[in-house]
Chains A and B, each alone.
Chain A
Amino acid sequence: MLIWRPNVVNYIVAFFIILTLNFFLPRLMPGDPLQAIYGDDALIAMTPELKLELIQRFALDKPLGEQFVAYLRALFRGDLGYSYYYHAPVVSVVLGYLPWTLLLSGLALVLSTLTGFILGVEAGFRRGQGLDKLLLTTLMLVNGFPDFFVGILFLLLFSVVWGLFPLGGSLTPYASLKGFDLVLDILHHLVLPLLTLVVVRCVNIFLLTRSSMVTTLGAGFILTARAKGCKDIRVRYHHAGRHSLLPVVTAAGLHLTHLITGTLFVEVVFSYPGLGTLLYNALMVRDYPVIQGVLLILTAAVLIINLMLDLLYLKLDPRINYAR
């Protein structure tokens, strides 16, 4: 456990820096920080009493150090500010949308990595053969499209033209479904946005796995495995695949940010009630506290998932511990 401690420290430092930036940016902008925090529109409707309350709340009449402490305290209480658009604390607004994004992006992360990996292993193993060429060409083509474009394409084809899936949302409104029916309904709504993300996001994983497979298959231990009498499938996954997984896990962390931005776009396309839609709406109405809150949550999520991948990597590659 001692071994990965510096790693965790890195993440804590990174998170702290982000918090600091989040604190300073509005205050560094010219003019009234309240204006920077809430925007012009919100201030027009503001009464002097409310303004005074807000100044106290952010400790704007105190020195910068105390303001920072106040900011951190509020943060640890779970106070991300107040949205005047939703008339609710930012935390509760964000928490209302967060589960849908977690569901969508989490499943997309797992499924796209899995799909990309399996396709990559199979294509790499059959390098230069029909299946490999087919996969490579198709996925390279898909790779050229942005997420939202594929999303729109799917939406048009599957929902508008063929009517197989709902046009948007995460649930059938007012259906008050329960139990298994509810799960089915959720999945039914989830299919298209998830499919869009998986299709687009698996390409990088696929390409990486494939090239990693091609290198790995030339390694001596593959020959050793075959000489032992291993079946093809065992050579492919237990030996070559397992080894090819290493760069994939590294890259999964790097691609995570793309996945998250991708999720935001796709949510907007499918009117999926996640953080993306929230962010989009907040941008439209310049609801700065919500924007800031969403971004903070997202950065925290990216950091946490990266940390988890780092820890996973330690499990995957015994040589890392040794090298330290």
Chain B
Amino acid sequence: MLVIKELQVSFGELIVLKGINLELKKGEILAVVGESGAGKTTLGLSIMGLSPGRCAGQILFKGKDILALSEEERRLIRGKEIAMVFQNVEDALHPLYPVVDQVMEALLIHGLKDKKAAQRKAMDLLKALGLSEERTHFFPHQLSGGEKQRVLLAMALANDPEVLILDEPTASLDAITRAEIIELLKKVIREKMVLLITHDLSVAAKLAHRVAVLYGGRVVESGATQCIFTFPRHPYTRGLLRSYPNMTTVKDLQGIPGPPYKPVDGCPFHPRCTQRVELCFREVPELKSLGDRYLACHRGGIIPLLEIKALSKSFNGVRAVREVELTLYEGETLALVGESGSGKTTLALTIMGLLPPDKGEIWLEGQKVLLRDKGFYQRVQMIFQNPKSSLSHRMNVWELVKEPLDVQGWGSEEEKLERVRKVLEEVELPADDFFLRKYPHELSGGEAQRVAIARALVLNPKLLIADEATSALDASIQAKILKLLLSLQEKRGLAMLFITHDIALARKVSDRLAVMKNGSIVEEGPASEVITNPKHPYTRTLLSLAADLKEEISILPVDAQRPK
């Protein structure tokens, strides 16, 4: 067992790793993920005793503290009991020696005296890892990237170490070679303690039992791999997943706002976090257990922004919304999909307080909403389907966008003008006086909807309810507006309740998807999960009828026929 306790590594003033607590058990693979510069490789090197930085804390291996050992004692452990495979950058192998000699060296250093036997063993090992006999005598420059990776692996495995540290074992390999290496790794690293350092989440998902997310030298979230990757709780983990291109998630790629990590006080992630509070600037959050995982966040992870609890609403005995339960998290898009008349808009209007609910509660940022005051509308805004009718034709752009500020009694006229110009720029509209004096009938459909969005965003709300906000627009303009909304989401952590009948559209913009039928939510889950593995027949119907570019016409399944 390998236990890392309160490990801190620093280079002069710069602290690269801080307060790292990790455990590796036999037969277990722990993945350490994070952006480059997060300190992943430094972690691996400190376990090897090769980190050039100053290490404090403890790394206990078989009860001995590696950091307290002498250099000579550490050398004897290196490559014998703890081995590391370095990133297959082109120079990880010595260019001037045949690869079999390099593997052999690992054996000779650690006590094997007989050179012949060592060479035979090295050869067997290389062959077992899939290198052909004659290629074992080749020089590194004669081998392909995948073969070099095999050699590096053979070198690390030569003395059958108990701990194996893999640093980006598949970086720079093509997809097919990568798959082979992953397969190979799965086979050879059983019964070992493995620390897998990678920024490739797919490799982590395929190999690791547990995953630790590293940011700014600290573990921000850790737990079982599937649990972390399906339901990330730390904003950074979610950002990583959102920006990772893969075949599982369906939403458009989004980055993480702000520049890469620079040393700061408080929570390392706070400069890029969209839900930070004052406490995050001051104090570093502790890594605390949440039952299924460990998380370091003052806000307990991504906060539920809007909670709808058992909400019902009927009109003249027709139950438009029945017992709806929904949770919308900070910075995420929840798409509400369903046919016309399924109760989507009623639900939205009830949340906004434009319709009184019959039953149920609405909670905003952890507090029950009792009355819709200025504070509520400052945080929750809505955009409607038809901008031409949702914008008053008596007001010009300036008055339209400024109106929420007037209502809230916010700032002076100059400040308002500045704010209005800024928000117009944000939605990529001209902010000059000429445009500000335009009336809605002078605007195109796309421009008008942007003005509507600007009006909704001018108060800097946390939640935006978009009710078919783009369905009246051309596809090209719709695409632009959606990109805009997603980029605002990335920048500000804007949460969106995205109401649409178009499941193909919902797939591209949403993190989670809820399917509504006859006033009830019939299915809800991560968008990718709902799209690829729909449980409810109604969802399957929607999916089969969604827009595609195939020739054949989709036929309405029998069970989905409307009752007449």
Contact = CB atoms under 8 A, between A and B. Distances in A.
Interface stretch (B61-69, B77-85, B227-235): B77-85
B89 interface: yes
A227 B94 CA distance: 13
B50 A227 contact: yes
Interface string A207-229: 00000000000011101111111
A230 interface: yes
B95 A229 contact: no
Chain B interface size band reads: 20 to 34
Contact of B92 (A221, A242, A243): A221
B172 interface: no
Contact of B86 (A227, A229, A242, A322): A227
Contacts of A226: 50, 78
Interface stretch (B104-112, B176-184, B434-442, B494-502): B104-112
B105 A228 contact: yes
SS of A interface (majority): helix
Contact of B94 (A229, A243, A316, A322): A243
B139 A221 contact: no
A220 B171 CA distance: 15
Contacts of B95: 221, 243, 317-319
Interface in B422-443: none
Interface in A194-247: 219-221, 223-231, 234, 239, 242-243
Nearest to B97: A242
B96 interface: yes
Contacts of B141: 318-319, 322
Contacts of A223: 50, 86, 92
Contacts of B79: 227-229
Contacts of A221: 91-95
Nearest to B156: A227
Nearest to A223: B86
Interface in A286-324: 316-319, 322
Given A221-B93, A224-B152, A230 B109 contact: yes
A132 B200 CA distance: 41
B94 A239 contact: yes
A80 to B, nearest CB: 43
B354 to A, nearest CB: 63
B94 A318 contact: no
Contacts of B91: 219-221
B329 to A, nearest CB: 42
A31 B244 CA distance: 84
B87 to A, nearest CB: 7
B96 A229 contact: no
Contacts of B89: 220
Interface string A256-268: 0000000000000
B142 A225 contact: no
Contacts of B109: 228-231, 234
Given A221-B95, A243-B96, A227 B110 contact: no
Interface residues of A, number: 21
B208 to A, nearest CB: 21
Contacts of B77: 229
B75 interface: yes
Contacts of B94: 221, 224-225, 239, 242-243
Contacts of B152: 224
A174 to B, nearest CB: 53
Nearest to B139: A318
B76 interface: yes
B93 A224 contact: yes
Contacts, number: 76
B78 A227 contact: yes
Interface in B142-177: 142, 152, 155-156
Given A226-B78, A229-B79, A230-B109, A319 B87 contact: no
Interface in B234-275: none
B48 interface: yes
B547 to A, nearest CB: 49
A224 B142 CA distance: 19
A225 B91 CA distance: 12
A243 B91 CA distance: 12
A126 to B, nearest CB: 14
Nearest to B107: A228
B96 A316 contact: yes
Nearest to B110: A229
Given A228-B106, A228-B155, A229-B106, A319 B139 contact: yes
B548 to A, nearest CB: 47
A322 B50 contact: no
Nearest to B159: A229
A177 B304 CA distance: 101
Interface string B389-403: 000000000000000
B250 to A, nearest CB: 38
Contacts of A227: 48, 50, 78-79, 83-84, 86, 156
B86 A220 contact: yes
A224 B78 contact: no
A225 B141 CA distance: 18
Contacts of B96: 242-243, 316-318
Contacts of A225: 94, 105
Contacts of B78: 226-229
A23 to B, nearest CB: 44
A220 B92 contact: yes
A255 to B, nearest CB: 23
Contacts of A234: 109
A95 to B, nearest CB: 40
Contacts of A322: 139, 141-142
B166 to A, nearest CB: 12
Nearest to B45: A223
A234 B86 CA distance: 20
A230 B94 CA distance: 13
A272 B94 CA distance: 45
B437 to A, nearest CB: 62
Nearest to A242: B96
A243 B416 CA distance: 67
A224 to B, nearest CB: 5
Contacts of A316: 96
B358 to A, nearest CB: 68
A318 B139 CA distance: 7
A223 B44 CA distance: 12
A5 to B, nearest CB: 22
B78 to A, nearest CB: 4
A240 B493 CA distance: 50
Contacts of A224: 86, 92-94, 102, 152, 155
A319 B140 CA distance: 9
Interface string B128-147: 00000000000101100000
A223 B50 CA distance: 8
Contacts of A319: 95, 139, 141
Which of B75, B86, B92, B94 has the most chain A CB atoms closer than 10 A to its own CB? B94
Given A225-B94, A229-B79, 18 more contacts: A220-B93, A221-B93, A223-B92, A224-B92, A224-B155, A225-B105, A226-B50, A226-B78, A227-B84, A227-B156, A229-B109, A231-B75, A242-B94, A243-B94, A243-B96, A318-B139, A318-B141, A319-B95
28 contacts: A219-B91, A220-B86, A220-B90, A220-B91, A221-B92, A221-B95, A224-B86, A224-B92, A224-B93, A224-B94, A225-B105, A226-B78, A227-B48, A227-B79, A227-B84, A228-B83, A228-B105, A228-B106, A228-B155, A229-B76, A229-B77, A229-B79, A230-B105, A239-B94, A242-B94, A243-B96, A318-B96, A318-B141
Top 8 nearest A-B pairs by Cβ distance? A229-B79, A220-B92, A228-B79, A229-B78, A220-B91, A221-B94, A318-B139, A228-B106
